[in-house]
Structure 1
Amino acid sequence: MNDKILNQLEFKKIIEQLVTHAETSIGKKLASSTTPSSSLLEVKKWHEETDEGVQVLRLKGHVPLGGISDIRPHIKRASIGGMLSAAECLEVASTIYGGQQLKKFVDTLEEEEIEIPILEEWCEQISNLNNLERSIKSCIDENGQVMDGASSKLRTIRSQIRSYESRVRDRLEGYTKSKSQMLSDAIVTIRNERYVIPVKSEYRGSFGGIVHDQSSSGQTLFIEPQSVVDLNNKLQESRVEEQHEIERILVSLSGLIEQDAEFLRQNVDALQQVDFMFAKAKLSRSMKAAKPEMNEDGIIHMRRARHPLIADDEVVSNDVELGEDFTAIVITGPNTGGKTVTLKMVGLCTLMAQSGLQVPALDGCQMAVFDHVFADIGDEQSIEQSLSTFSSHMTNIVDILDRVNNNSLVLFDELGAGTDPQEGAGLAMSILDFVISNNARVIATTHYPELKAYGYNRNEVTNASVEFDVETLKPTYRLLLGVPGRSNAFDISKRLGLKDEIIEQAQSMVSDDSRSVENMIASLEQSRHNAERDYEKASSILAEAEQFKDSLKHEYNQYLNKKEQYEEKAKTKAQKIIEEAEVQSKEILEELKELKEDATVKEHHFIDARKKLEEQKDQLKTDQKSNQSVKTEKKNEKLLPGDEVHVATFNQNGHIVEQVNEKEYEVQLGIMKMKVSKDQLQFVKRPEPVKTKPLATVKGSQVHVKPELDLRGQRYEDAIHKLEKYIDDALLAGYHQVSIIHGKGTGALMKGVQQLAKEHRSIKGNEFASANEGGTGVTILKLK
């Protein structure tokens, strides 16, 4: 990829953003050199790195990379025997510490069993150089100064320096107090690294000593009095010794750095890669980008793709497909409609993907690795060469056609523009034919109406357009694949107030073929709108159905589990009854035997005992049949609208709405209605008949009141008024319970329903429906 293409597609702006996300100078350096690769294996490896970084940021939010510097120049100078400064030595120690902090962070990720193979591999290359770090930090403080404790000799020298400085200052301060009238200012200052006092020029002879400087006016002399010359000399000698000792210490530290030079280089290289890896991850997070699946088949498939350089509140996302069903897209439409933005977005996302950067689109996108990405975008007119716009574009196109191959992505903006429309259109189609014949992938934008039919005549090509809203007279910037752009001149002119007779005359001048094409395009657009609307509706219904199916499946499984439990309890209870009957029977038999042996017992005693035994025998049969008789009675009950029934299939109670046929009834289960087989229904109870009219009256005619009221989508006041009337009708119809569907929304309607329930004298309670019946979107009212 040459710099011209990278500039045209604004790839360098992406790199600038990438650099800002790197935390270290070494990471920024590597980020700034990022370029696309045409190797599929290399690109896939880069994406694995980026994706791993994204996962770590998602789980931890950050990665510690503080204190790391580019110490490679310091290592190089130390390796050839050079002496590093205290600040440079401190940078080495800080970088060692930064590497150890990163390794500790990675250890915590491993303990949490987070899969980070790439990060682990880089951290394995970071050597533990704690001894070198301690040696440096024991000599140099955090401000980059050699400390007194770096050596015993340095401590002694600095103690002497402080002593000499104190003695010199004490002596000079004596002058400032005793001879202040001879001084320009009663202070002690420094000139040429020696302590002096500012003396008025007329008192020069009163002090003796050495003049080190004078003021710009010449009226003040900075004099070192003779009495402190010896002390200042000793102070200077001590400072020279101090500097020699500091240099000795730094040379020693530089030697230690030289010994670990190779390990330090390896540490820096690994830290640079880690910082670059997380810079890519941070860029992905800021763009809400996704990892693309890379291929070398020329397939591009992006859903809700966005141009990465346009602000989130302005960018329009689009779906883009190329390389499977067709290898070329011809985009037509008005100016400022977004054609060029779409063109650049595809090209820029391709360059990003081939650089290991994630693309701003939904998960599951596919991007191809191309040998070349060519682009002819914008006005490349060269004033120096005196080339026209057409000539400039054609020079660029000639270069592209000379180099294009079957693994190229070619982007043409306003192909064939700048010359006679007929010739330009013919030239554009010929150029497209040539590129397509080389099996390259191509996206072209154009104004020429002749190219609208181009896509219909070639299997490898599809038409596309950018949507234009005639109502607002503004483009929507949405890309419409499969639909060519149509002229909106007449519609726009009419909305802007151009007279109808002028528009009608203009329309009469348009050829029948052009008019047919425009009508066809308009029909395609309408069909697409209808298809999108139907698709969204179908998707919504499918999602609800799936949710309902899962809910029913869960309820049915619960029913089966409970059924088994109830059957087991029934068996246990029956067995207990049998055992009790056997015990009582034995007691009765024993009693009979005793009575028989007693001659004095009269006949009626035998008759009573025998009757008691017979009753005990029949008790079990009576208990076993009691439930069956009730069930049979309820099952044989004729079901009427409004009856409460138990639906065995779902183990739930509902209400009969109507009889569908001899074998099926329509049943209301919460907010749902469904057809249920008669043998699955068990009669529970029937609402008590109301002595007044059993039907609610609406405008003089009687209608059945449903056990539910749907208030969704209604204004608050209208909904409450309707609810009050419905409660009266439900009471007249004899309902003891009704369902009010208000939805979730803002919650205002739900609160209104519950407030009315508390205040209404005929409502004894309310509760939300179960989760599978609408949850907090439905309130069940208990009527008195």
Structure 2
Amino acid sequence: MNKKILDTLEYQAVKDQIKPYLTTDSGLKELQNLTPSDDKQTIKQELAETADASKILRWEGGLSIPKLADVTEHMKRVKIDAALSGTELAQVGRVLFTTSQVSLFFENLIADREDPMTALAPYYQRLVTMPELTKKINVSIDSDGRVTDEASPELHRTRQSITSTENAIRQKMQDYTRGKTAQYLSDAIVTMRNDRYVIPVKAEYRSKFGGVVHDQSQTGQTLYVEPADVVDMNNRLRELIVKERHQEAQIFQDLSALLKPVADDIQKNAQVLGHLDFVNAKARYAVAIRATEPEVSDENHVRFLQARHPLLDQEKAVPNDIIIGEDYQSIIITGPNTGGKTITLKTLGLLQLMAQSGLFLPTAEHTTVGVFKNIFADIGDEQSIEQSLSTFSSHMVNIVDILDQIDQDSLVLFDELGAGTDPQEGAALAMAILDAVGETGAYSLATTHYPELKVYGFNRTDTINASMEFDVESLKPTYKFLIGIPGRSNALEISKRLGLSQNIIDNAANMANDESQELNDMIADLVERRNAVLDQQVQLSNQIVENRQLKNEYEQKLEKLDTQKAKMLEDAKKEANHIVADSKKKADRIISDLRKMQRDGVQVKENKLMDAKGELNAMEQKPSAENNRVLKRAKQAKHEDIEAGDTVLVNEYGQQGTVLRKLKNNQYEVQMGILKMVLSDDELTKQQQEPQGKGQHNSGKQKVKKRKENVSTNQAQNRMHASSQLDLRGKRYDEAMAELDRFIDQAMLNNLSSVEIIHGKGTGAIRKGVQEYLRSHRGIKDFKFTGPDQGATYVEFG
């Protein structure tokens, strides 16, 4: 991004507004280096980081990061075995302590909120905590950089000796300030000279105290004497102080040595903390200007909704919608001076720069931004006396430079395009420049006073007129940006309201160009229509909200009724199926008895028995697809068309049969051996026909024999895989029910007398499903819970 546009749009002023929210030197350095990016992924990542920081600010009041110095130079010195000072070690200690606090903060935040903070994760996950080293430094060095007594036992003992020696010296010196000796002193006090305790003695009594003279007053009347009695004590104190300094220096050296192996990690921690401080500052700034997160448009559509200039008073700034790139790529803004045209240009440009810097924007929600490699602007009077350039010339020099650099990824802002020269030539030049910009595919906004450009904006494709609204009644601009409506000249109306003679107004109106007057009338009509449409839009919006609420209420009530109806119907069908199942069991026992009678010589027609059984089967109710859609999503099995003469597999028995005829309600009469049965289509599976060949000429007896051989093979395989126990634990409900159905079929085909089904207790869904299935199955004689926790069911076949 060119530096000139940053200066023109006052980008640095926005950065200065963010600065007070920073607490670390690294964060401040990152703000100083902040520039707009032209990489779409980078912009999205930076906006996502600001969004995560905003969530933290909303949930926890923001990140708590204390004032941290830049420790980069400290770590460089540590690497060359230099010893850090107490102040520098204290700064490193604060970085280490803050690292631990911030790492713990994110750990607790993620656990409590169950939000991984995806955008900030690459940063806080890089923090390296060093608890032992952190404790060692912060115990040894206080916040002001002084070595504490806990730094080492030797230093603690030395300081105790210093304290006791100082107390003894003071006690001895206090004796000189009291009693008979006080008369020899200029003042009864104890003071310091050359880091040694002394008393102010009158010059004529110097011999009374002996010892060493360290200083005298300007008049020579007072000598500062260290009495002979305390010379040795002061000497001992000086030795202890020197010893203390050596011990402190050794502690600095030892602590610096501990930092050397982890210097890189500490420096990286400081950088991460600085970045977190920076994104935290961006979030706080967003709250201060009531900003929202914009969306980066993949189509490069710029849609600023209710946009406000960030450097204006946010309570007084008039919000405007600024849209470009969707239906048009050039906007011609007309209107009176001081109406807000220039601030609209700057608002668009500055907000786009902010978005490409990862900053939230003072706009309404659902704002979208584009990505531009460069933004250019020709704004303001750049008249140069030194270069002998007029206003027009300076503008043209700037425009020529812009035209040499723009491409389809550029945004260009022109303020008073073509001004400063003959109006006719200026208007023609402005239109030609806008055409040149449009040919590159760049977006452009231009303000102008030329009426010719209003017609240009109306006739050119990808171009639209706009204006700044002016209230003729109050003679004040409203600063409202009107897309699609060119600016209207209000000179005559304003002059009239200011008291200009009506004769002059009339003469001016007569001299005004008819086309210009017609254009103003057209604009007035457009404004009136626009206001009417806006009023109607507000009414329609309110009506839509009311209708949507009513629609939602009715849909909820209808869904509740459908659910209740479906549930009641399904419950009734289940109960009916249980009744039918009990009836089938009784019918099977009767048929069994009749067959026994037939074997004993009593003649009973088999087909009558099968017809009776078929009627019972027809009574069974199947869940309807419509109810299944309401109660649960289930796939309805699809069957191939079955015709008379087809070979089918009877699913329940695992045996093949031949379809004799098709009955009503998707039911079929099937010959299975000597038995005739009426079965529904979902109980049958159509089998592939045998290829035509020699088998066609075989007798019916041979075909029957072959079928029996296949059946016996299937039965053998079934017996081979038969089991008396089924474990359904850990399975999904649908999977468990399907496996249960196959298991019961296998058990019955293999003539097992009883089986055990392990379903566990769990939530009870599978357990309940097993009970429902067994209750409805006509081959089940009895079943009951078993096991210490009733986690299994014992089943007997009848």
- Say whether the fold is shared (TM-score over 0.5): yes
Question: Relative to structure 2, which stretch is displaced further, 533-542 or 42-51?
Answer: 42-51
2:527 to 512, 515, 525: 525
Give the Cα–Cα distance (whole angstroms) in 2 for the partners of residues 13 and 506 of structure 1.
Answer: 45
Alignment pair present for 1:17 and 2:17? yes
For the residues of structure 2 that align with 1:453 and 1:307, how far apart are their CA atoms? 29
* Residue 177 of structure 1: how far off its partner (Å): 0.9
Give secondary structure in 1 for the equivalent of 2:418. coil
Q: Where does residue 488 of structure 2 map in the other structure?
A: 486
Deviations 1:434-485 (A, max 9, x none): 1111111100111111111110120121110000011111111010011110
- 1:510-569: CA deviations, max 9, x gaps? 11111111111111111111111111111112212222333344556677889999999x
What residue in structure 2 maps to residue 331 of structure 1? 333
One-letter amino acid of the counterpart of residue 93, structure 1: G
Aligned position for 1:129: 130
Alpha-carbon distance in 1 for matches of 2:36, 2:224: 66
Q: Is the 8 A contact 2:23 2:67 kept in 1?
A: no
Q: Is the 8 A contact 1:20 1:28 kept in 2?
A: no
Equivalent residue, structure 1, for 2:440: 438
Please report the TM-score for the alignment, with normalisation by the length of structure 2. Answer: 0.69
Call closer, same or farther: CA 1:234–1:432 in 2, change over 3 Å. Answer: same
Match of 1:588 in 2: none
- Are residues 1:149 and 2:150 paired? yes
CA distance in structure 2 between the partners assigned to 1:561 and 1:159 by the alignment: 85
Aligned to 2:257: 255
Query: Contact 2:384–2:394 at 8 Å: present in 1 too?
Result: yes
SS at match of 2:323: strand
State the partner residue of 2:576. Answer: none
Listed as ranges, the matches of 1:236-275 within 5 Å are 236-275=238-277
Distance in 2, matches of 1:228 and 1:42, equals 72
1:41-440 matches, cutoff 5 A: 41-66=41-66, 68-111=68-111, 112-178=113-179, 179-295=181-297, 297-440=299-442
Task: Tell me how far apart the structure 1 counterparts of residues 429 and 201 of structure 2 sit (CA, whole Å).
Answer: 92
Task: Indicate if the aligned counterparts of 1:172 and 1:188 stay in contact, CA closer than 8 A.
Answer: yes
Q: Report 1:544-559 matches (<5 A).
A: 544-554=546-556
* Change in 2 beyond 3 A, CA 1:451/1:162: same
Aligned residue identity for 1:39: D
Cα distance in 2, alignment partners of residues 48 and 560 from structure 1? 43
Please name the residue that 2:454 is paired with. Answer: 452
Distance 1:3 1:219 in 2: 70
Taking the aligned partners of 2:221 and 2:537, their CA distance within structure 1 comes to 95
- Any conservation in 2 of the 1:67–1:95 contact (CA below 8 Å)? no
Kindly provide the amino acid, as one letter, of the partner of residue 452 in structure 1.
K
3-state secondary structure, aligned to 2:169: helix
Deviations 1:266-300 (A, max 9, x none): 21122122112222222222222222222464421
Distance, in Å, in 2 between the alignment partners of 1:78 and 1:138 is 20
Query: How far off is 1:120 after superposition?
Result: 2.6
3-state SS, counterpart of residue 199 of structure 2: strand
Structure 2 letter corresponding to 1:10: E
- Tell me the distance in 1 between the aligned counterparts of 2:26 and 2:51: 21
Do the aligned partners of 1:303 and 1:318 also contact (CA within 8 Å) in 2?
yes
1:139 CA drift (Å): 2.0
Do 2:2 and 2:374's aligned partners in 1 also have CA atoms closer than 8 Å? no
Asked if structure 1 preserves the Cα contact closer than 8 Å seen for 2:418 and 2:427, the reply is: yes
| Structure 1 pair 67–340 and aligned structure 2 pair: CA distance change class (3 A) | closer
Say if 2:301 and 2:325, in contact at 8 Å, map to a contact too: yes
Cα distance, 1:126 vs. partner? 0.9
Q: Distance in 2 between matches of 1:385 and 1:214?
A: 70
What is the CA deviation profile of residues 239-284 of structure 1, one whole-angstrom value per residue up to 9, with x for unaligned ones?
1111111111110001001121121122112212211222222222
Q: CA deviation at 1:50?
A: 1.4
Matched, 1:2 2:2: yes
**CA contact under 8 A between 2:328 and 2:463: conserved in structure 1?**
yes
Give the equivalent residue in structure 2 for 1:27.
Answer: 27
Q: Following TM superposition, by how much is the alpha carbon of 1:398 offset from its aligned partner in structure 2, in angstroms?
A: 1.4
Q: How far is the alpha carbon of 1:69 from its aligned partner?
A: 3.4
* Cα shift at 1:364: 1.6
Paired with 1:470 and 1:323, the residues of 2 have a C-alpha distance of 32
The 1:334/1:85 distance shift into structure 2, 3 A limit, reads: same
**What is the alpha-carbon distance in structure 2 between the residues aligned to residue 129 and residue 559 of structure 1?**
63
Preserved CA contact (<8 Å) 2:103 2:124: yes
Amino acid at match of 2:15: I
- Change in 2 beyond 3 A, CA 1:565/1:29: closer
Task: Verify the 8 A CA contact 1:19 1:32 in the aligned structure 2.
Answer: no
Which stretch shows the higher mean deviation, 282-291 or 525-534? Answer: 282-291
Find the residue that maps to 1:126 and give its secondary structure.
coil
**Alpha-carbon distance between aligned partners in 2 of 1:255 and 1:41, rounded to the nearest angstrom:** 42
Provide the rounded CA distance (Å) in 2 between the counterparts of 1:129 and 1:77.
20
**Distance (Å, rounded) in 1 between the aligned partners of 2:21 and 2:512:** 56
Of the structure 1 ranges 16-25 and 26-35, higher mean CA displacement relative to structure 2 is found in: 16-25
Q: Which residue of 1 aligns with 2:545?
A: 543
**SS of 2:140 mapped into structure 1:** coil
Q: CA RMSD in A?
A: 2.3
- 2:522 and 2:121 map into 1 onto residues whose CA distance is 60
Using the TM superposition, give the Cα deviation of residue 58 of structure 1 relative to its aligned residue in structure 2, in angstroms.
2.2
Paired residues of 2:45 and 2:119 also in contact (CA < 8 A): no
Alpha carbons 1:54, 1:282 under 8 Å: kept: yes
The SS at the match of 2:4 is helix
For 1:164 and 1:54, locate their aligned partners in 2 and report how far apart those are by CA, in whole Å: 58
Question: In structure 1, which of residues 465, 472, 475 is the aligned counterpart of residue 474 of structure 2?
Answer: 472
Partner SS state of residue 118, structure 1:
coil
Measured after TM superposition, the shift of residue 360 of structure 1 is 1.5
Name the aligned partner's letter for residue 116 of structure 2. Answer: E
User: Partner letter of residue 145 of structure 1?
Assistant: R
By how many angstroms is 1:37 displaced? 1.0
Once residues 118 and 203 of structure 1 are traced to their aligned partners in structure 2, the CA distance between those partners, rounded to angstroms, is 80
Question: Contact between 1:298 and 1:407, CA under 8 Å: does it hold in 2?
Answer: no
> Matches of residues 765-784 of structure 1 in structure 2 within 5 Å?
none
Given that 1:106 and 1:120 are in contact with CA atoms closer than 8 Å, whether structure 2 keeps it comes out as no
Distance 2:471 2:237 in 1: 86
Matches of 1:506 and 1:241, distance apart in 2? 98
Residue ranges of structure 1 left out of the alignment (5+ in a row): 569-784
Aligned length: 570
Aligned-residue identity in percent: 46
1:338-372 CA distances to partner (integer Å, 9 max, x unpaired)?
A: 00010000000111111111221122211111111
* Distance 1:406-1:134 versus aligned 2 partners, 3 A rule: same
Code of the aligned partner of 1:56: I
- Change in Cα spacing, 1:261 to 1:447, as seen in structure 2 (3 Å) is same
Distance 1:398 1:564 in 2: 75
1:164 Cα shift? 2.1
Deviation, 1:156, is: 2.5
1:609-665 CA-to-partner distances (Å, cap 9, x unmatched) read xxxxxxxxxxxxxxxxxxxxxxxxxxxxxxxxxxxxxxxxxxxxxxxxxxxxxxxxx
Describe the superposition over 1:221-240 as per-residue Cα deviations: whole angstroms up to 9, x where unpaired: 22212222222112111111
Deviation at 1:207, TM superposition (A): 2.6
Amino acid at match of 2:163: R
Whole-Å separation in 2 of the counterparts to 1:514 and 1:352: 40
